[in-house]
Structure 1
Amino acid sequence: MNNYQFDKPFKTYDEMIELLQSRNMVITNSELTTHWLSDSSYYAVINGYKNYFHPNGNNFTHPVLIEEIYSLAVLDSLLSRTLLQAILTVELSLKSKVSYIVSKNYGVYTDYNNISSLDDSDDYFCAKNYRNAHDTKNTLLNLKKSLKNTILNRKNLSVTHYVDNHNHLPLWIAVNSFYLGQMIKFYQILKSTDKDYIANSLVFAPQLTTDEKKDFLISSLKILKEYRNKIAHGNQVFHSSVKGKLPKRFVLDLTNKKIDISDYNKGIGNNDRVSVILILLVLQRDFHRKLFCSTILSTLNLMKYVHIQGKSIMNMLGIPEQIIDIINDYSNQDN
């Protein structure tokens, strides 16, 4: 191995700076650039955002200031953190509502030691409590298996506390061990009347019928799951990598056509940051919605007025300015 030539050898910060300069990046302050590379990593900032500057391979076709690419990365990261915090709020709300309606209708007990049993009528994971669908049993078995693994490995403090100190494990505690993807599958196997309750108490859009709310909710949750997972792992989210779309009728209706058919056909509101913002406006109420509006407006206004090579950061990231008007509309609404 001593003579082996790695194609990505280790480089010191000084060597990284030399490499950047050789690729037509302008470094005005080497010490500050070293701090940025130390805090954020070369890969996250340079490789993550270079495509916004129309490079030719690894080289920039025209000089790019390190401050420009770093400003773009910082503000995009700030937007992502705002979205992530709101997604976590929606995730918690979904867990609360699912556990409420299931506990109300089917009880507070489950035999978490017997993961293969789905026939006990006293168990809230009993198969008869859910839709008669081909994936219902597998979903319930996976949930019970996941829960038992959490208990055996003591992965969740609230679950561990209940198991140690109480004679049953209610669903409102058990859901703390489930991921958003698991909760989406859990929601999908609920009976129609139970879904009605959740959709009507989670989707704050009075212009939609209950059935429309259910359609909107499942499309929205799948998009949020992908953004949540990628943001949480420090990855930049490109909408082209996100599966599924928010249906056009919802985007036009819920934005009062401030995003129109032409915008939607260009990809705006499908599964991009705009769609995530719209979803989070609709799936939050009162204090949470107003806090989200205030926080994200501050970030978007910064993006609007910070320009890089003649373009605002909002424009570079493909975020249309009318999203600010849409957020203001929702901020002024009462649930």
Structure 2
Amino acid sequence: MKEQDKPFKTIDEQIEILRSRGVVIDDHKGARELLLRNNYYSVINGYKEFFLDKDRCNQDVEVYRRGTRLEDIATLYRFDTMLRFSMTHCLLNAEKALKTVTVHAFCERHRGIEDYLDPACYCSKRDYKGTNYTKNLIRLLSTMQSLRDGKGGRPYIEHYRREHGGVPLWVLSNALTFGNMSHFYDLQSIGVQNEACHLLCETIGADRLGAKKLRMAYSTMTDFRNVCAHGGRLFCARSGVRGDRRFADMVRYLVLVSTEPEGEFALSAIMQAFRVLAPIEGLPEIVLDEMGIGHAKQANADNPLANVVNAGKK
């Protein structure tokens, strides 16, 4: 039998490993409680990179920066957890709003009960702004056809198909993911996209929103919504083909498509989470830079995220 590379370790063994790597643990009982209540991999492996001494680490040895405490790592883990919970709420509201206006815009132009299954109701390959047009269109239509046929096991879809002879998009959309709707929007004609923008502006009290910007908002928020849904690290997450969109970009798009109260709630929730980092010297600056808002802290040291949120309103 092959020897395990990563054999099981007891809680006490995990604590000793951390101590041997330079982590300060004064409260053994508290450390046990932390690691019993939270998975070692999620807390330590998930957030250790921000505390490691890169100059003293190699492929076989991990060494933490001098003075690193277990509670510092736990605090960053707790901060990201708080951030994830609050942003999930905000992103779900944004998802609901974007779905609603996109579906309405499509159905206003295509009145057939199941026109969403007709390839002719989508943009041409020439007008498509992304890549892999044919593949993405076929995949979307296949997903919608499967849901329409009841393969998702959703009683309300079966009810509409049985009682009304078809399943309208405003019913089917409840079973579509944020990612599905992002692709759906991308594949619409510019007329449908512009109408969705117009309807969204009407709901949030904005003057104008371009189709390209809404497409970017859809894409970015979908990626961050998926991070939240799968319990990933949020504050340092990256989005986009080149990984060049960060948390700050997500916040800007979130504020862009939200009402003012929703935007203010997002800012308040982020700042509330951020307060847990304040006692740890140097950590807030590291986190701000990872979030892509390091520049904002010079402009407004008391409220570094306000500049990011305000930028989203422009």
TM-score computed with the length of structure 1 as normaliser:
0.75
**Alpha-carbon shift at residue 172 of structure 1 (Å):** 0.8
Quote the offset at 1:170 in angstroms.
0.9
1:218 aligns with 2:215: yes
Identity of aligned residues (%): 22
Q: What per-residue deviation string (whole Å, max 9, x for no partner) do you get for residues 93-120 of structure 1?
A: 121112112222212522xxxxxxxxxx
Deviation at 1:66, TM superposition (A): 0.8
**Deviation at 1:6?**
0.6
After superposition, give the CA deviation of every residue in 1:240-269 in whole Å (9 maximum; x if it has no partner): 7432579xxxxxxxxxxxxxxxxxxxxxxx
Q: In the superposition, relative to structure 1, how do residues 241 and 280 fare at CA in structure 2: closer, same or farther (>3 Å)? A: closer
Given candidates 254, 266, 275, the residue that maps to 1:280 is 254
Q: Which has the higher contact order (CA 8 A, sep 6+)?
A: 2
> What amino acid is the match of 1:296?
I
Q: Shift of residue 7 of structure 1?
A: 0.7
Alpha-carbon offset, residue 17 of structure 1: 1.1
How many residues in Structure 1 have an aligned counterpart in Structure 2? 290
Give the aligned partner of residue 232 of structure 2.
235
Secondary structure of the 2:172 match is helix
Letter in 2 for 1:295: A
Q: Residues 14 and 164 (structure 1 numbering): CA distance in 2 closer, same or farther, change over 3 Å?
A: farther
Q: Which residue identity lines up with residue 99 of structure 1 in the other structure?
A: V
Deviations 1:222-255 (A, max 9, x none): 2222222122111114757432579xxxxxxxxx
Asked if residue 87 in structure 1 is aligned to residue 94 in structure 2, the reply is no
Structure 1 pair 220/314, CA: closer, same or farther in 2 (3 Å)? farther
**What is the distance in 2 between the residues matched to 1:214 and 1:83?**
24
- What residue is the counterpart of 1:251 in the other structure? none
RMSD (CA atoms) = 3.0
Aligned residue identity for 1:199: C
Kindly state the Cα deviation for residue 164 of structure 1 after the two structures are TM-superposed: 4.7
**C-alpha contact 1:139 1:186 (8 A) present in aligned 2:** no
On the 8 A contact 2:190/2:211 being kept in 1, the answer is no
The 1:181/1:329 distance shift into structure 2, 3 A limit, reads closer
Q: Distance in 2 between matches of 1:108 and 1:307?
A: 59
| Cα distance in 1 between the residues matched to 2:285 and 2:112 | 48
Residue 124 (structure 1) shift: 3.6
The answer to which of 159-168 and 20-29 deviates more is 159-168
The one-character-per-residue Cα deviations of 1:77-108 (angstroms, maximum 9, x if unpaired) are 21122222222222221211121122222125
Q: Measure how far apart 1:35 and its partner are.
A: 2.4
Structure 1 partner of 2:129: none
**Which stretches in structure 2 are left out of the alignment for 5+ residues?**
127-131
Partner of 1:125: 117
| Structure 1: runs of 5 or more not aligned | 111-122, 247-269
Q: Distance in 2 between matches of 1:238 and 1:30?
A: 29
Indicate conservation of the 8 Å contact 2:22/2:64, yes or no. Answer: yes
Contact between 1:93 and 1:202, CA under 8 Å: does it hold in 2?
Answer: yes
1:1-16 matched pairs, under 5 angstroms: 1=1, 4-16=2-14
Cα 1:314–1:169 change in 2 (3 A) is: farther
Q: State whether structure 2 residue 295 is matched by structure 1 residue 297.
A: no
- CA spacing shift, 1:291–1:317, aligned 2, 3 Å: closer
1:71 corresponds to: 75
Contact 1:180 1:225 (C-alpha < 8 Å) held by counterparts: yes
Map of 1:20 onto structure 2:
18
Partner of 1:120: none
Q: Distance in 1 between matches of 2:14 and 2:52?
A: 20
Equivalent residue, structure 2, for 1:98: 102
1:145 match: 142
Check whether the contact 1:130–1:136 (CA below 8 A) recurs between aligned residues: no
**Matched residue, 1:316:** 287
Q: Can you list the C-alpha shifts for 1:162-204, whole angstroms capped at 9, x where unaligned?
A: 3354432110111122222221221112111111111233366
Give distance in 2, aligned partners of 1:65 and 1:185: 44
Whole-angstrom CA distance in 1 between matches of 2:91 and 2:17: 38
